Amino acid sequence: MENSLLSKITLISVIYTFFIVCVVFGQSRDVRELKNWKFHLGEIQNADQYDFQDKAWENVIVPHDWAIKGPFDKEIDKQVVRIDQNNEKEATEKTGRTGALPFIGVGWYRTKIPIENIKSGKQVILTFDGAMSNAEVFINGKKIGNRPYGYSYFYFDITDNLFSDRENVVAVRLENKAFSSRWYPGAGIYRKVKLILKDKVSFKHWGHFITTPYISDEVAKVNIKSQVQGENVVLKTIIRDSNGNLVNQNLTSQRFGDEIEQSISIKNPEIWDIDSPILYTATLELHQDGVLKDSEVIKFGIRDIDFSAERGFELNGKVVKFKGVCLHHDLGPLGIAINKSALRRQLTILKDLGVNAIRSSHNMPSLEQLELCDEIGFLFLAESFDEWKKPKVKNGYNLYFDEWAEKDIVDLVHATRNHPSIVMWSAGNEVPDQWGSDGVKRAKWLQDIFHREDPTRPVTVGMDQVKAVMENGFGAILDVPGLNYRVHLYEEAYKLFPQGMILGSETASTVSSRGIYKFPVEMGFNKTHDDLQSSSYDVEYCSWSNLPDDDFALQDDKPWVIGEFVWTGFDYLGEPTPYDNFWPSRSSYFGILDLAGLPKDRYYLYRSRWNTKEETLHILPHWNWKGREGEKTPVFVYTNYDSAELFINGKSQGIQKKNNSSNQHRYRLMWMDVVYEPGEVKVVAFDEKGSAVAQKSIKTAGAPHHILLEADRTTITADGEDLSFVTATIVDKEGIPVPNATNRLNFEVSGEGNFKAVCNGDATSLEMFHLPSMKAFSGKLVVIVESTKQAGNIQLKVSGKGLRQGQINLSSK
């Protein structure tokens, strides 16, 4: 026994000495993004073959969405269906359900890998972060695999399929079927494709799992499990803090099967939290015979999560309620082609709103989105499927569930599990399998897969058939029961479910159009209007849903309601409820922000409750109502203060104080009997002592006079991908925004930048996003400028007939 222990100690000493005195040779992995592709829309014979002539094909940059440039057409994927989730009793025509953009059909992509990029003896992995959909991948004319689910990450080892004496050809066939989605799914290789060249002695793809099972003020335990391939290897791990300082390192050769496990201590750890998203970096090096064979760098956070009946959700020992939003995967006018700059803008806006959590709805999130949530500080609910075995749409995931569900979940977990932002998995959303015993078995099977692959996080499902899941046990077996709407059943579900908590996995579905107000102001569901817009008084909702205030009250009054995920943070393409039977509606009305990323009034209602660090004082509606003189025009104020006094042209309309007479009076200040007269609306807010502490005013605008431009960032990166989002506002000669202006605006970009896209946030507009001209909607629109790969100055000019031109100078570095 003593000799064995002595031998082990001696071996470890030799290893450490070896690493200290030896000069380490070898090469680490080489990761290359495949950006430049040839593209053809439509089926074509032999496009997978090595010597196929594709010179006439379009040159595109991946990530790419072939459908976003349109045109919009009501006949595209027109579905005649009865939507159970919407409580519909009969089938009706749905013209804009999937965005009315031409995503259906076959698309081919081809690219070449130069021979100098392939080195003898290397293992070559081809990775896809997402391809929409039914991907078939070919190397040099040979099919190497397929992946039907458009939201999956996947990869292939292509080592044995490569030529060593000539360039290699990658071909990808995608096919989107009709009746395969409930929203705009997009089309194409819309996330990144990478080529990974590494030694055959190396880490397996997605082979690391980093957790922090013990945390105190003095020390944190970092556990790292690494899957390796190759014999007689030594793993060296170096951990650095957010400033790049070395905090600890470890060396081990102990191995169990294909896994090497390490436990490394970090003294006085800095904790990852929503308000302080501090990240550490682990550099993992794999050596064999003193030669570096592989190396990976992984960012991670030290944080602790817990879900309990007694305290709900805890982050690092503190109770936190989810102030979350659901996000679809499209980026509005950019389509589904992933862009980190656009994602960063979304999350920056949501941070100001006070959002602390994101639900990827109803898809597997992009890796870029998770990286940003780690960096900025968001909790993340990572969702997998919108369908299981029972269909919602004819050609949906139900076709692939039996064969692919486990593989898709395994890859989701392995690809993303090191992100500290992820605190929960979702196995599905509103699946029809909620009915019946087979669905209960499927729910348990899926949850068990998540537990097997990641025992550190709980699993939920967004359940809308609440009566059914209370009766058949579906809801009782989940780690966290998630209810989609059905606020009237929360109490009953809480009593019946054993978990002792309820998550609002999808809430509100209030609908509104930015800057559009309807009279009289009446609360109600499924309300429609002749102009196909919804009122921004925030009093209209859907038959299955409710107003935001109802969710606020539940979370404030019921400690067992652990938070909510609002449907939705931003408007998205497709699903134009309540106008899905009406053309030309082609995008949603649910967003707290519109499709252009401009705040609706509802933004300030949520902000007044969620962003407790900043002042919120917002007045609605606008005050340009020619023809309504003398008519009642209610005024709402969204504020974090409890009371305020309203003035119209200096005349007091009285003081309103939040009260419990209704949920709306509890969270909004409302003056229902205001009579419209042009001029100034002013609100003065009071603190708890009755002292005036803040004021805000809006004024009636004159005729449109000039264009005011404001960029979210005036300096961007010269990488050919970075974006600046410039808001164009039509104002009168005094600089007051004209809230009902609809002037056509034209855009010209010069210098080291390009016009990328434009959006006005109007769900009924059929103007193309990629053309440099569009009408303003409610006085505004957003122009997107893209950098080139050359540093320099960029100038955007926005003009319109009868308007003084707007001009803004940007730069790229």
Question: Quick one: pLDDT band at residue 590, thresholds 50, 70, 90?
Answer: very high
- Distance CA(680)–CA(701), nearest Å, equals 10
Question: Quick one: pLDDT band at residue 89, thresholds 50, 70, 90?
Answer: confident
Q: In terms of C-beta density within 10 A (0-12 exposed, 13-18 middle, 19 or more buried), how is residue 734 classed?
A: exposed
In angstroms, the first-to-last Cα distance of the chain is 64
Question: Quick one: pLDDT band at residue 13, thresholds 50, 70, 90?
Answer: very low
The strand pair at 322-327 and 561-567 is best described as parallel
pLDDT tens for each residue of 668-704: 999 999 999 999 999 999 999 999 999 999 999 999 9
- Compute the mean pLDDT over every residue in the chain, rounded to the nearest whole number: 95
Q: If we measure between CA atoms, which residue out of 136, 133, 113 comes closest to residue 35? A: 113
Per DSSP, the chain holds a count of helices (H) and strands (E) of 11, 49
Give the pLDDT of residue 154.
Answer: 98
| Choice among 383, 430, 575, 752 that is catalytic | 430
Q: Give the whole-number percent of the chain exceeding pLDDT 90.
A: 93
- Distance CA(445)–CA(478), nearest Å, equals 11
Q: What is the DSSP string of 195-251?
A: EEEEESSEEEEEEEEEEEEEE-SSEEEEEEEEEEESSSEEEEEEEE-TTS-EEEEEE
Written as six digits, the tokens of 525 are 């569901």
Contacts (Cβ under 8 Å, ≥6 apart) of 342: 331, 334, 723, 725
The phi, psi pair for 537, rounded to 5°, reads -75, -5
Q: Could you confirm whether 506 is annotated as catalytic?
A: yes
Give the pLDDT of residue 26.
Answer: 56
Give the pLDDT of residue 90.
Answer: 84
2-26+201-300: CATH class:
mainly beta
Tell me which residue has tokens 């004021």. Answer: 695
Helix axes 401-416, 367-376, angle to 10 degrees: 40
Average pLDDT over residues 439-454: 98
Can you list the pairs that 435-439 forms with residues at least 24 positions away whose Cβ atoms lie under 8 Å? 435/390, 435/465, 435/468, 435/472, 436/472, 437/472, 438/389, 439/388, 439/389, 439/390, 439/472, 439/474
Tell me which residue has tokens 């102001």. Answer: 521
Contact 282, 237 (CB under 8 A): yes
- Distance CA(71)–CA(101), nearest Å, equals 6
Least confident residue range of 142-146, 687-691, 742-746: 687-691
Q: What is the DSSP string of 523-591?
A: -EES---TTS---TTS-EE-TT---HHHHHHHHHH-TTEEEEEEE-SB--BS--TT-TTSTT--B-S--
Q: Is the peptide bond before 133 cis (omega within 30 degrees of 0)?
A: yes
Q: What is the DSSP string of 382-407?
A: EE--S-SSS-SSTTSGGGTHHHHHHH
Average pLDDT over residues 772-776: 98
Quickly count: other Cβ atoms within 10 Å of residue 214's Cβ.
13
Written as six digits, the tokens of 463 are 């359940």
305-509+544-572 is classed CATH 3.20.20.80: yes
Q: Give the whole-number percent of the chain exceeding pLDDT 70.
A: 97
pLDDT tens for each residue of 251-290: 999 999 999 999 999 999 999 999 999 999 999 999 999 9
Q: Report helix, strand or coil for 447.
A: helix
Q: Which residues face 745 on adjacent strands?
A: 774
Average pLDDT over residues 725-748: 98
Question: CATH assignment of 34-199?
Answer: 2.60.120.260
Give the pLDDT of residue 290.
Answer: 94
Tell me which residue has tokens 């705009």. Answer: 184
Give the pLDDT of residue 5.
Answer: 32
Tell me which residue has tokens 């436990």. Answer: 263
Written as six digits, the tokens of 807 are 């001009």
Q: Could you confirm whether 75 is annotated as catalytic?
A: no
Query: Where do the CATH 2.60.120.260 domains begin and end in the chain?
Result: 34-199
- Distance CA(15)–CA(17), nearest Å, equals 5
- Distance CA(123)–CA(712), nearest Å, equals 43
Residue 87 above 90 pLDDT?
no
- Distance CA(51)–CA(591), nearest Å, equals 48
- Distance CA(649)–CA(632), nearest Å, equals 16
In terms of CATH, what superfamily is 617-699? Immunoglobulins (2.60.40.10)
Give the pLDDT of residue 10.
Answer: 37
- Distance CA(689)–CA(811), nearest Å, equals 48
Average pLDDT over residues 14-33: 57
Q: Is the peptide bond before 578 cis (omega within 30 degrees of 0)?
A: yes
Least confident residue range of 7-16, 77-86, 194-203, 532-541: 7-16
Residue 16 above 70 pLDDT?
no
Separation in Å, CA 4 to CA 7, 9, 231, 780: 5, 9, 22, 76
Q: Report helix, strand or coil for 645.
A: strand
Average pLDDT over residues 708-713: 98
List for the chain the helix, strand, coil content (%; round to 5).
15, 40, 45
Residue 793 above 50 pLDDT?
yes
- Distance CA(762)–CA(125), nearest Å, equals 43
Residue 546 above 90 pLDDT?
yes
pLDDT tens for each residue of 93-139: 889 999 999 999 999 999 999 877 677 789 999 999 999 999 999 99
Q: Which CATH architecture has domain 706-812?
A: Sandwich (2.60)
Give the pLDDT of residue 8.
Answer: 37
Q: Report helix, strand or coil for 12.
A: helix
Query: Where do the CATH 3.20.20.80 domains begin and end in the chain?
Result: 305-509+544-572
Query: Where do the CATH 2.60.40.10 domains begin and end in the chain?
Result: 2-26+201-300, 617-699, 706-812
Q: If we measure between CA atoms, which residue out of 385, 389, 397 comes closest to residue 433? A: 389
| Choice among 387, 506, 564, 752 that is catalytic | 506
Category of 149 on φ-ψ map: left (φ > 0), alpha (ψ -120 to 50) or beta: beta
Written as six digits, the tokens of 502 are 């309820």
